Amino acid sequence: MFHFISLLGAQSESAACQSLLELDNGIRILIDVGWDETFELEYLKELERYAPTISLILLTHPTLSHLGAYAHACKHIPGFRSIPTYATFPVISLGRLLLQDLYLSTPISHGHLLKLDALTIPASPAFSQPALPAPTPAAPEGSSSWLLNPPTSAEIESFFNRIIQLKYSQPHPITFLPSPITITAYSAGHTLGGTIWKVTHGQENIVHAVHWNHSKDHHISGAAFLQPNSQTVSTETLGKPSALICSSTQPDLDLPLPPLTRRTRDEALLATIKRVAWENGGTVLISTDSVARVLEIAYFLEQTWRKDSTLAGIRGPNGRKGVGLYMAGRRGKRLSKAVGRMMEWMSDEVLKALEASERLQEESKAKAQEQKQSRKKGKGKQQNEEAAQKVETAGPFDFVHLQILEKRKSIERLFDGSLDISEKPLGMVILAADKSLEWGFSKEILAKIAGEERNCVILTEKSGSGIGKELWNEWQANVAGKSYSDGIKLENQQKELKFSKRIPLEGEELNAYNAFMADRMALQSARTNVIQTTGPAGIITTGHEDDDDVSSSDDDEPDSDSEKQGKSLSALTLKKTAPGMPLVAGQTVDIGVNVLIKGEGIYDYDVRQAKGRNRMFPFMPKRRRVDDYGEWVRPDDYIRAEERGEDVLDGDDAEKEKKAPALAERIMGKKRKWEDLTPGKSADANKKKGKAGKLLSGSDADSGEEEEEGEVVESDAEPESDSEAELESQFHLPSKLLDETQTITLNCQVTYIDYQGLHDSKTLQNLLPKIKPRKLILIAGTTRETDSIASYCRNLWTPKTPRAQREVDIYTPQNGETVNASVDTNAWVLRLSDTLVRQLKWQNVGTLSVSPALGILKITQTPQPGDEPDAKRQKMDLVTSSTAVIRPVSTDTDALTPITLDTPPALMAAATRASHHPILVGDIKLPDLRKALQQRGIQAEFRGPGQLLCDGAVMVQKEGGTGRLVVEDRGGGWRGGLWKRVREVVYGGLAVVVGGN
């Protein structure tokens, strides 16, 4: 069985992608946890509904549309972070930087505080239907602007450290599920580490290829569909899948101009830069993402600046330098470091450049000695030679000309001329996120350059919403008759930009917030306990559990109920809520001594009247994950510091790092943060020791780098309101969203140059017939794009005769629609009853065991919510006072209802056995048969393909087409019983299945 559900991305203007694969035994695989630039929590409701039943997660690209909601789900959806997640190393590293940049850049991504509605868990045979608390009361007035607490950079680090790394073309079996599956990652192009997933489960061979690029980019290779030096798709990799889930995105469908190739797009970009920045001294804003496609543009421009002395180094008019090249992003420096560890994932062009740079570095060492001995050259000439040598020996992603700006103050100083750079450039080229111009530094830069005609905005991707989409529509409507490098000019167009801030709550708003959050957190805790009790479908949970199976002999006494055990010793806690009595939907529920673990701010509990294990301090052991090779190893325990994106401290810094925690003030349940004041010392003293005494994580890892020549110096002499430490210090405070609208006048130029690196309509039309899928599911595109490629495929695979069946079934689902894309076979998965299993008689055939089975099919009744065992009912008693029974989502009942094979009545079994003939099961190989005959004293020789002559009288022949084995007497074989002895040896290699059980 294979059912497909598109949670997000099917026939939608939004680029967010979330796909759900449903397999046998209740296995659900979530592929991608995408979001879009609107950051609407409504998009995540379906994800939250299905979250308790998800078995594992696969991530494809390090982009907002593919993993933008991953950190939010890990923090705010109970149990989501414990779901096993798989991705390639670049997707993990770049995705971590993307989300850290996102939450530091805009408070819109933090999400508005909404009430928790009762979940509706989709029906699944492997997931029982628990009862969850009812919704919380309605939020107070004015709460629409309240914000959730977003994940911090440290939390995002921990979320991504849990992801399991995979390599390309490496099958990875997953055995902890009810039925084993195998996942394999293949290169998808488009982004560094981008993945096409192949999922194999029984007869299902599913390929998930969303947002891939068949063509090569400068820094990465194309998708792995075609074999090397061939135009065919191998069936051993991605060819002939039972189901192909493919994106229908076609960037060339709405273009008013002919599409660009890789060479022509580079030429158009350079022509625009030279016209705007070099000739007119303007500023070029290139809007792109922050970690993925920006690498393609940054690599190309960096290499161009190295080769083009006009743009890089030769003095222009008035003694000013060429064109300045900048990249604005809060994780720019960490990105340049992280990419340096991913060279093996890049194209051959980058690898060759890396080898050449390493070779030149060795040669430069010898030249350095000669330059030290020769001091006759002028100072200016010597500096020019050193600069040229630095460029020659730099690696592919060692940014020599590209300068990184990580703070808002640096951008302001760049435009007002106060930034500490070597020389003021003639013009500027700035790469900034995001492509939608709705968050990140791109919006702020747009506000600064929009009013001048000499400036230009280059759109590299088509955005689904925001100011980026409005500018694309303007370009699409007015570019007719022009070229990509010309663009269009906007004249006095008024646009409103919305700038959002996170403001802490005060006064009555703060009191209302605290009261509301008390109800919400109690409900969240109760719901988490229920989810941990049932667990995600088909996996072994790793969270903490109550050890309800082990208890003392006193637990059976009537007075040992947890709701009658003891009272708290804390008067302060009594004022909040009675101990062990968390507030759920406005009512209190007693959880007994477990409040010492699950309660907040409770450190003592009266157990003098308790009995049994309720008298002891609660202990919640971790359920260990075990497979055929033993206990699972936590990969994050063995990740090196440089793989996490951190800097390794050595020498005196490491010693200071070890002694730093000893200076922290000890507070019960909390640790002093590194930016807090050390007791007895002033803020200035702590600031001077900042580099020696704080952990190098996040952007702080870059603060200790040595400044290089030409690098932008971001001075910290003045307090920065947008520093990472100050921004994250507000994440834990109750806050609201404050929007400020700024009206700007657009007089600048706008053009669109496609750098998104996606397949176009021509690629889909050429490649889909070579892949030859049995079923094709089209998602990740607009309605027009999906209908366009679906119509082409239906015409391509139209039956040749009226009675013939269509070669490929094509599906174009909507969001939330279930598609039954199972393999069309007569094979069914059955459950054998215990009575039938005891009657089976097994025979060995090679490495397998076979047995005849005679039974009758029965439909197993699905357990109702009230049919849980007593132990499970006891675990759910804590929420029975105010519960809402979860009703299953209506799905295909035939696929979800288990079928059981049970023993038939005696009379039916006897009649059926009498009509059955013996069946021979097995496959005899002639070399093995020859060896068995020789052991019986019979001389056997090969006499042609598939023929074995025994003692010159009996011929054993195996037909090539059917595998049928024929034992023939060539004359004299009946004498001495030779023919019978040969037949006995042949039968000895087969299993004779007779009758029934």
Number of residues written out for the chain = 997
Q: How far apart are CA 971 and CA 955, in angstroms?
A: 10
Q: Token digits for 765?
A: 């039309």
Partners of residue 182 on adjacent β-strands = 173, 200
Which of 258, 385, 398, 254 has the alpha carbon at shortest distance from 333? 398
Which parts of the chain have pLDDT scores under 50? 115-121, 123-135, 137, 315-320, 534-589, 648-711, 713, 715-720, 863-896
867 backbone φψ class: left, alpha, beta (φ>0; ψ -120 to 50): alpha
136-142 contacts, C-beta under 8 A, 24 or more apart: 136/516, 136/519, 136/520, 136/523, 136/585, 137/519, 137/585, 137/586, 139/113, 139/114, 139/115, 139/516, 140/512, 140/516, 142/509, 142/512
Note whether 851 and 842 are within 8 A (CB).
yes
For the four alpha carbons of 433, 437, 440 and 442, in that order, the dihedral sign comes to positive
Residue in the block written with tokens 């001077």: 688
Q: Do domains 2-126+147-251+757-801 and 262-346+396-501+740-752 have the same CATH topology?
A: no
- Phi, psi for residue 843 in degrees, rounded to 5: -130, 140
| Kind and range of the H or E run holding 7 | strand 2-8
The CATH architecture to which 262-346+396-501+740-752 belongs is 3-Layer(aba) Sandwich (3.40)
Alpha carbon distance 643, 93 (integer Å): 8
Tokens of residue 777, six digits = 């599911």
What is the amino acid identity at position 889?
Answer: V
> Environment class of residue 19 by beta-carbon count within 10 Å: exposed (0-12), middle (13-18) or buried (19+)?
buried
Strand order across the beta sheet in which 85-88 lies? 164-166, 85-88, 56-58, 28-31, 18-23, 2-8, 818-820
The tokens describing 363, both together, are 């040669």
Scan for tokens 């890990």, then name that residue: 74
Beta carbons within 10 angstroms of residue 927's beta carbon: 10
Helix/strand/coil percent split, the chain, to 5: 35, 20, 45
Tokens for 161, please give them: 């450290």
Q: Give me the DSSP letters along 500-563.
A: EEEEE--HHHHHHHHHHHHHHHHHHHHHHHHHHHH-STTS---SB---TT---GGGGSGGG-GG
Q: Is the peptide bond before 702 cis (omega within 30 degrees of 0)?
A: no
Name the residue type at position 501: K
Cα separation of 604 and 568, whole Å? Answer: 7
HEC string for 573-630: HHHHCCCCCCEECCEECCCHHHHHHHCCCCCCCCCCCCCHHHHCCCCCCECCCEECCE
Distances (CA, A) of 627 to 143, 180, 400, 624, 755: 48, 11, 49, 10, 44
| Alpha carbon distances (Å) from 968 to 920, 928, 930, 949 | 18, 19, 16, 10
Q: Report pLDDT digits (tens) over 853-909.
A: 888 888 765 544 444 444 444 433 433 333 333 333 444 444 445 688 888 887 676
Q: Which amino acid is at 539?
A: I
Tell me 124's DSSP state: B
Report the DSSP beta bridge partners of residue 127. Answer: 124
The distance from CA 568 to its chain's CA centroid, rounded to whole angstroms, is: 44
Query: The pTM is what?
Result: 0.72
Residue the block writes with tokens 């920065």: 720
DSSP 8-state code for residue 168 = B
Backbone angles phi and psi of 962, in degrees to 5: -105, -15
CATH superfamily of 2-126+147-251+757-801: Ribonuclease Z/Hydroxyacylglutathione hydrolase-like (3.60.15.10)
Report pLDDT for 656: 44
Contact (Cβ atoms closer than 8 angstroms) between residue 429 and residue 304:
no
* Residue 462, C-beta contacts closer than 8 angstroms, at least 6 positions apart: 251, 254, 469, 472, 752, 756
Tokens found for residue 756: 């998104």
Domain locations in the chain? 2-126+147-251+757-801, 262-346+396-501+740-752, 639-677+697-703, 837-853+906-997
Query: Tokens 């080229």 correspond to what residue?
Result: 429
* DSSP single-letter state for residue 276: I
Residue with token string 């030679």: 385
For the chain, the maximum distance between any two Cα atoms, rounded to a whole number of angstroms, is 113
Structure tokens at 238: 């991605």
Residue 281: Cβ within 10 Å count = 18
- Residue among 512, 449, 9 nearest 247 (CA): 9
DSSP conformational letter for 677: P
Give, in order, the Cα–Cα distances in Å from 60 to each of 174, 208, 209, 247, 779. 18, 9, 9, 13, 15
Q: Residue 764's closest CA among 180, 15, 204, 248?
A: 248
CB atoms within 10 A of CB 783: 14
Please choose, from the candidates 526, 598, 587, 528, the residue with its C-alpha nearest in 3D space to the C-alpha of residue 881: 587
Of 717, 720, 674, residue with least CA distance to 697: 674
**In Å, how far are 313, 711, 940 from 401, measured between CA atoms?**
10, 9, 78
CB atoms within 10 A of CB 983: 14
Query: Contact, 286 vs 754, CB < 8 A?
Result: no
Distance CA 231, CA 239 (A): 12
> What are the pLDDT digits (tens) for 377-430?
555 555 555 555 666 677 888 888 899 998 888 998 888 877 766 667 788 999
Q: Are 100 and 70 in contact (CB under 8 A)?
A: no
Lookup: tokens for 795: 């015409």
Q: Which residues contact 924 (CB under 8 A, 6 or more apart)?
A: 958, 965, 986, 989, 990
For residue 747, the model assigns a pLDDT of: 93
Cα distance between the two ends of the chain: 28
pLDDT at 655: 47
Give the pLDDT confidence score for residue 730 in this predicted structure. 81
Q: How far apart are CA 221 and CA 189, in angstroms?
A: 6
* 8 Å CB contact between 662 and 672: no
